[in-house]
C-alpha cells in the first residue's frame, strides 16, 4: 500500500491573522500572530489597555524586523534588545519558538467561551465589537449572533446600528457551519443527548447518529441524526424545541437543519420504519462508499437508493442495514470501514478483518499525574485505569526540558519510581509501569541520560518543540531518537493538533520502516485534539509490521474515555487485536519489553 498524503487541515482559526496558517514555520510573523491573538483575547476580556497595547506593539515590532528572530533563537543565540519587548515578552517569544504556542494564550482561550473566537472571523467584527456583543448582549458564538441580529437587539449596542446589524447577519449566515471540523470527542456527547431526547418522543421507533460521527472519523463537520417514525409523528417540531437548539436553518415535516448554542450544525432526517435500514446506509455514508455500493448494485442489475434495494422496481430490502447489504451479496459492513478503501471487495470475498474491540485493550502506555502536568495523583490514576477495565497503566511524565509542563529531572523520576514500587505493592487488579514521555531534543537526542532511562520499564519519546524543521532535519531527528537503545514508543508521531497545529513535515514511510527494523512501536494517541497517527497511516504501519500502541495520554482520571476514540480510529485503520501492542496481557507485555525472559510464565 502506498502511504497517502497527510489529509489537509482546516485553516488554523487559532491564529486568524497569521501568515503561518496551514504551515508550521515559526517565524517573526507567526510570533506576531500569537501576540495579536493574545491582544484580541485580552481586549475581549476587557483587560488593561496598556497591557493590550504592549502585545500589539510587540507584534508590530516583530513584523518589521529585517532578520529571522525565531531562527536565531533556535540556533541558541540570545535575544537582541528590541524596542518595546521587555523580559516578560522576550520569555514569551522563547516559549513560542520552543513550543509553537504560549501558555497565556491557551489560558485566555480556555477562560472565554469557545465559540467567541469564531466571531472575530466575521467581516466587520474586531475584538472591540466582539467585546461589546459578549459583555452587553451575552453573545458567545455565531449562532447567538444570528439570533440577536434577527431579534433586532444588536442595533442598540453602542457603535453598531441597524445597517451594521443587517450586514453582520448576512456575513454570519454565509460563514455558518462552513469548513469547520472539530474532534469527534466534542460531538459525541451532544449527539448522544439529542438521540436520547428524540427516542423519548412518543411514536419514535428509533433514533441513531449517522454520518461521519457513526463512521467514527477523527474530525466531524456536522451531526447527522436519523429517526424512524410513522408520518403522523411530530418529530421535527419536537426536535427544534430541544433547549440546545439555537437557530433553525431548515424545517420541513421529515427534515430539519439547526445550529446548536455551541455553534454545531445538526441535520435531522425522519423516515418511515420500513425504509430505516436503507436510509441509515445512505446517511452513514461515506459518500464514496455510497457511490461504490450503488455502482455494485447497478452491476448486479438492481438499484440502490435511500429507500431500498430495487429489482425491477420491486423493493427487495430496506428495513435493516443487514438486509440491504445482503441484497447486494455482502455481509454487513461496520460503519468505521465505509470509506471505499477496499471494504466492499473484502466483504464480497469474505475477507473483512476481525477488527479490534474496545474490550481488547488490556492497558494504557501513556499517562501523566500531578508530578508533571496531570491533574490527579498516581493512585487516583491507577484506580481510574482499573475502573476503565485495564490491567496495567504506564506513568509517563514529561521530562525536564518541557518546563511549561513541569517535566521531571533524574531526581524527580527516581522519586516517582519509588512511589510506583510502593503503590504496586498495595494495589489490587492494576499494575503501574514506570515510564517517561521523554522529550526528543532538536538534534534527536533524548532529554534524560541513559542510566536514568535504563531504570524504566518503557520509554515513550515525543517531540514538543522545533516543529518547523525542514523535512530532512525532522526525519533525521526522529530516526536518531528511535535509534536509541531504550526507545519503546514514538508518541503522537505527527504532533498535529486539530484546528491548531498542522502535522509535522516528515518522511513518514522512512519512520515507519525504521520502526519496523528497530522494533519500535508507534502511538495512536487518542487525545481528542491529537488522534495521531491517522487511520491510513496506522494501516500502512500495520502492513509494514509495526505495532501500534493506542494510548489515552490521560492527564486526569476522566481521560481514559479517550481510548474508545483511539480504538475506533484503529478500527478505521483495519487493525486487529494483534496489531496493537497494548492488547497484550501484562505478562506478554513484560516479555515484549524484555522485563522478563521470553520463556517465563
Ligand atoms: P462531515 O459532516 O463533513 O463530517 O461528513 P459526513 O460524512 O457526515 O457528511 P454529511 O454530513 O455531508 O452527509 C451525511 C451522509 O449523507 C454522508 O456520509 C453520505 C450522505 N451523503 C451526503 N451527500 C451525499 C451525496 O451527494 N451523495 C451520496 N451518495 N451520499 C451523500
Ligand atoms: Ca455529518
Ligand atoms: Ca450533514
Cα angle value 96/98/101 (rounded, 5°): 35
Tell whether 1 is covered by a domain: no
**CA 214 – ligand 2 centroid, Å:** 9
Dump pLDDT digits (tens) for 495-551: 999 988 889 999 999 999 999 999 999 999 999 999 999 999 999 999 999 999 999
The sheet that has 223-229: what strands, in order across it? 204-210, 223-229, 265-271, 255-260, 245-251
CB 28 within 8 A of CB 65: yes
Residues 141 and 284 in one domain: no
Tell me which ligand sits closest to the C-alpha of residue 221: 1
Same structural domain for residues 459 and 536? yes
Query: Residue 303 forms beta bridges with which residues?
Result: 310
Higher pLDDT, 71 or 50: 50
- For the chain, the residue count is 601
Model confidence, pTM:
0.76
Q: What is the pLDDT of residue 589?
A: 98
Residue 490, preceding bond cis, omega within 30 degrees?
no
Whether residue 373 lies inside any domain: the answer is yes
Check residue 6 and report its DSSP letter.
P
Structural domain containing residue 95: 28-174
Between vectors from CA 561 to CA 560 and to CA 563, what angle results, nearest 5°?
A: 75
The pLDDT assigned to 1 comes to 59
Q: How far apart are CA 337 and CA 355, in angstroms?
A: 10
User: Which of 120, 153, 174 is the last residue in one of the domains?
Assistant: 174
Question: CA 351, CA 510: separation in Å to the nearest integer?
Answer: 29
258 and 368 within one domain: no
For residue 239, is it within any domain? yes
Residue at which a domain ends, from 348, 370, 388: 348
511 inside domain: yes
Compute the distance between CA of residue 563 and CA of residue 361 in angstroms, rounded to an integer.
Answer: 9
Domain identity same for 479 and 406 = yes
Q: Are residues 245 and 370 in the same domain?
A: no
CATH number, domain containing residue 482: 3.20.20.140
- Given the CA of residue 289, which atom of ligand 1 is nearest to it? 29
Q: Residue 23 has what pLDDT?
A: 41
Is the same domain home to 342 and 400?
no
Q: Which pLDDT belongs to residue 2? A: 55
Predicted confidence at residue 82, as pLDDT, reads 85
Q: What is the pLDDT of residue 261?
A: 83
Is the pLDDT score of 186 beyond 60? yes
**Protein residue whose Cα sits closest to atom 13 of ligand 1:** 211
End-to-end Cα spacing for the chain: 38
Q: Is the same domain home to 344 and 362?
A: no
429 shares a domain with 341: no
Domain assignment present for residue 22? The answer is no
Least confident residue range of 148-162, 191-205, 553-567: 148-162
Closest-CA residue to 126 (of 190, 197, 52):
52
pLDDT exceeds cutoff 50 at 6 = no
Q: What pLDDT band is residue 3 in, cutting at 50, 70 and 90?
A: low
Q: Give me the CATH number covering residue 65.
A: 1.10.150.110
pLDDT of 171 above 80 = no
Confidence of residue 64 (pLDDT cuts 50, 70, 90): confident
9 located within any domain: no
Q: Kindly provide the residue ranges of all beta strands, DSSP E only, lying in 526-563, ordered along the sequence.
A: 548-551
Distance in angstroms (rounded) separating the CA atoms of residues 462 and 366: 11
Q: Are residues 337 and 373 both part of a single domain?
A: no
**Ligand 1 pocket mutation pick from 187, 211, 271, 278 by most atoms within 8 angstroms of CB:** 211
Cα atoms in the 13 Å half-sphere on the side-chain side of 281:
29
Distance 190 CA to ligand 1 centre (A): 19
Judge contact between 377 and 555, C-beta under 8 A.
Answer: no
pLDDT band at 15 (very low <50, low <70, confident <90, very high): very low
Residues with CB under 6 Å of ligand 1 are 211-212, 220-222, 224, 282-283, 285-287, 290-291
Among 348, 371, 394, which residue terminates a domain? 348
Same domain, 398 and 474: yes
Q: List residues bridging with 250 in a β-sheet.
A: 257
* CB neighbourhood size of 536 (10 A): 19
- Helices and strands counted in the chain (H then E): 24, 17
Domain count of the fold of the chain: 3
- Centre of ligand 2 from the C-alpha of residue 490, in Å: 32
The residue whose C-alpha atom lies closest to atom 23 belonging to ligand 1 is: 287
One domain, residues 130 and 212:
no
The residue to mutate among 208, 224, 259, having the most atoms of ligand 1 within 8 angstroms of its beta carbon, is 224
* pLDDT, tens only, 103-133: 999 899 888 887 888 888 787 788 999 999 9
CA distance 264 to 75: 43
3-state SS, 479-514, equals HHHHCCCCCCEECCCCCCECCCECCCCCCHHHHHHH
How far does the centroid of ligand 3 lie from the alpha carbon of residue 180, in Å? 12
Q: What is the mean pLDDT of residues 49-59?
A: 93
Residue 13 reports pLDDT greater than 50: no
Cis peptide before 286 (omega within 30 of 0): yes
Only one residue has cell 500502541, namely 549
- Is residue 232 one of the residues assigned to a domain? yes
Q: Please check whether residues 61 and 120 belong to one and the same domain.
A: yes
The answer to the question of residue 533 being in a domain is yes
pLDDT at 16 over 90: no
Q: Which residues of 164-182 are buried (b: 16+ CB within 10 A; e: fewer)?
A: bbebbbebbeebbbeebbb
Amino acid at each position: 500500500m502506498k502511504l497517502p498524503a497527510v489529509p489537509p487541515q482546516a485553516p488554523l482559526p487559532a491564529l486568524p491573522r497569521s501568515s503561518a496558517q496551514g504551515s508550521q514555520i515559526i517565524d517573526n510573523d507567526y510570533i506576531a500572530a500569537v501576540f495579536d491573538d493574545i491582544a484580541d483575547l485580552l481586549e475581549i476580556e476587557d483587560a488593561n489597555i496598556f497591557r493590550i497595547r504592549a502585545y500589539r506593539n510587540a507584534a508590530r515590532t516583530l513584523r518589521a524586523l529585517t532578520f529571522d528572530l525565531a531562527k536565531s533563537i533556535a540556533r541558541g543565540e540570545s535575544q537582541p534588545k528590541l524596542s518595546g519587548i521587555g523580559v516578560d515578552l522576550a520569555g514569551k517569544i522563547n516559549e513560542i519558538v520552543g513550543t509553537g504556542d504560549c501558555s497565556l494564550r491557551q489560558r485566555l482561550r480556555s477562560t472565554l467561551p469557545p465559540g467567541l473566537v469564531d466571531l472575530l472571523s466575521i467581516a466587520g467584527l474586531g475584538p472591540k465589537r466582539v467585546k461589546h456583543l459578549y459583555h452587553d448582549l451575552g453573545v458567545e458564538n455565531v449562532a447567538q449572533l444570528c439570533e440577536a441580529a434577527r431579534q433586532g437587539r444588536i442595533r442598540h449596542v453602542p457603535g453598531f446600528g441597524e445597517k451594521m446589524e443587517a450586514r453582520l447577519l448576512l456575513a454570519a449566515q454565509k460563514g455558518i457551519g462552513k469548513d469547520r471540523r472539530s474532534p469527534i470527542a466534542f460531538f459525541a456527547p451532544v449527539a448522544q443527548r439529542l438521540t436520547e431526547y428524540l427516542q423519548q418522543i412518543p411514536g419514535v421507533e428509533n433514533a441513531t447518529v449517522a454520518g461521519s460521527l457513526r463512521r467514527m472519523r477523527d474530525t466531524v463537520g456536522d451531526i447527522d441524526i436519523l429517526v424512524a417514525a410513522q408520518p403522523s409523528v411530530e418529530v421535527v417540531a419536537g426536535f427544534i424545541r430541544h433547549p440546545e437548539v439555537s437557530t433553525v436553518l431548515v424545517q420541513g415535516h421529515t427534515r430539519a437543519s439547526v445550529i446548536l448554542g455551541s455553534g454545531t450544525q445538526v441535520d435531522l432526517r425522519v423516515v418511515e420504519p420500513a425504509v430505516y435500514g436503507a436510509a441509515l446506509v445512505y446517511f452513514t455514508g461515506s459518500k464514496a462508499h455510497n457511490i461504490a455500493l450503488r455502482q455494485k448494485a447497478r452491476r448486479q442489475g438492481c438499484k440502490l437508493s435511500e429507500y431500498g434495494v430495487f429489482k425491477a422496481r420491486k423493493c427487495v430490502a430496506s428495513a435493516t442495514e443487514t438486509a440491504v447489504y445482503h441484497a447486494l451479496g455482502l455481509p454487513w459492513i461496520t460503519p468505521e470501514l465505509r470509506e471505499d478503501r477496499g471494504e466492499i471487495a473484502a466483504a464480497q470475498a469474505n475477507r473483512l478483518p476481525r477488527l479490534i474491540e474496545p474490550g481488547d485493550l488490556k492497558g494504557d502506555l501513556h499517562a501523566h499525574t500531578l508530578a508533571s502536568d496531570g491533574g490527579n495523583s498516581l493512585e487516583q490514576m491507577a484506580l481510574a485505569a482499573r475502573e476503565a477495565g485495564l490491567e496495567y497503566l504506564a506513568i509517563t511524565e514529561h521530562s525536564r526540558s518541557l518546563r511549561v509542563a513541569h517535566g521531571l529531572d533524574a531526581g524527580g523520576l527516581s522519586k516517582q519510581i519509588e512511589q510506583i514500587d510502593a503503590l504496586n505493592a498495595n494495589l489490587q487488579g492494576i499494575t503501574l509501569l514506570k515510564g517517561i514521555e521523554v522529550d526528543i531534543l532538536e538534534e534527536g537526542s533524548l532529554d534524560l541520560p541513559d542510566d536514568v532511562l535504563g531504570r524504566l520499564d518503557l520509554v515513550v519519546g515525543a517531540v514538543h518543540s522545533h516543529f518547523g524543521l525542514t523535512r530532512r532535519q525532522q526525519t533525521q531527528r526522529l530516526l536518531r531518537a528511535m535509534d536509541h537503545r531504550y526507545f519503546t514508543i514514538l508518541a503522537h508521531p505527527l504532533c498535529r493538533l486539530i484546528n491548531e497545529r498542522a502535522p509535522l513535515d516528515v518522511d513518514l514511510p522512512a519512520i515507519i520502516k525504521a520502526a519496523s527494523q528497530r522494533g519500535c512501536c508507534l502511538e495512536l494517541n487518542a487525545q481528542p485534539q491529537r488522534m495521531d497517527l491517522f487511520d491510513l497511516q496506522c494501516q500502512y504501519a500495520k502492513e509494514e509490521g509495526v505495532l501500534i500502541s493506542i494510548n489515552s495520554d490521560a492527564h486526569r482520571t476522566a481521560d481514559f474515555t479517550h481510548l474508545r476514540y483511539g480504538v475506533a480510529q484503529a478500527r478505521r485503520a483495519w487493525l486487529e487485536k494483534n496489531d496493537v501492542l497494548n492488547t497484550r496481557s501484562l505478562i506478554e507485555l513484560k516479555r515484549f519489553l524484555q522485563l522478563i525472559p521470553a520463556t517465563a510464565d
